[in-house]
Amino acid sequence: MRIGFTYNLRDDYLREGYTEEETAELDAPDAIDAIEAALKSLGHTVARVGNVKSLTTRLAAGDRWDVVFNYAEGLFGFAREAQVPALLDAFQIPYTFSDGLTFALTLHKGFTKHVVRSLGIPTPDFAVVSRASDVAQIGLPFPLFVKPVAGGSSVGVSAASFVTDSTALVSTCRRLLGTYHQPVLVETFLPGRELTVGIVGTGPRARVLGVMEVILTSDADVHAYTYSTKNLELARYRIVDDGAAVEAAEIALRAWNGLGCRDAGRVDCRCDRSGRAHFLEVNPLAGLHPSHADLVILAGLVGVSYGELIGSIVASAAERLPAT
Tell whether 166 and 196 lie within a shared domain: no
Backbone angles phi, psi at 130, to 5 degrees: -95, -25
Tell whether 235 and 291 lie within a shared domain: yes
String of DSSP letters for 62-77: T---SEEEEE---SSS
Tens-place pLDDT, residues 241-277:
999 999 999 999 999 999 999 999 999 999 999 999 9
Tell whether 201 and 177 lie within a shared domain: no
The answer as to whether 102 is a domain residue is no
The structure's pTM equals 0.93
The answer as to whether 88 is a domain residue is yes
What's the rounded Cα separation, in Å, for the pair 216 and 240? 15
- Which residue type does 207 have? R
Q: Is pLDDT at 113 greater than 60 in this prediction?
A: yes
Helix 100-107 crosses helix 83-90 at what angle (to 10 degrees)?
Answer: 170
State the CATH number of the domain containing residue 272: 3.30.470.20
pLDDT band at 223 (very low <50, low <70, confident <90, very high): low
Q: Are 161 and 147 in contact (CB under 8 A)?
A: yes
Between the CA atoms of 180, 27, 216 and 284, what dihedral angle is there, to the nearest 10 degrees? Answer: 80
Q: How many structural domains comprise the chain? A: 3
Tell whether 200 and 184 lie within a shared domain: no
Q: What pLDDT is recorded for position 221?
A: 64
Tell whether 249 and 286 lie within a shared domain: yes
Enclosing domain of residue 214: 191-318
Task: Determine which of 204-208, 222-226, 237-241 has the lowest per-residue pLDDT on average.
Answer: 222-226
The answer as to whether 120 is a domain residue is no
Tens-place pLDDT, residues 20-66:
777 777 888 999 999 999 999 999 999 999 999 999 999 999 999 99
The answer as to whether 110 is a domain residue is no
The answer as to whether 13 is a domain residue is yes
**Mean pLDDT over residues 272-295, rounded?**
96
State the CATH number of the domain containing residue 22: 3.40.50
* Through-space distance between the first and last CA atoms of the chain, rounded to whole angstroms: 13
Residue ending a domain, among 151, 166, 188, is 188
3-class secondary-structure state, position 264:
strand
Tens-place pLDDT, residues 69-83:
999 998 888 999 999
State the CATH number of the domain containing residue 149: 3.30.1490.20
Tell whether 246 and 226 lie within a shared domain: yes
Q: Are 190 and 201 in contact (CB under 8 A)?
A: no
What's the rounded Cα separation, in Å, for the pair 209 and 323? 28
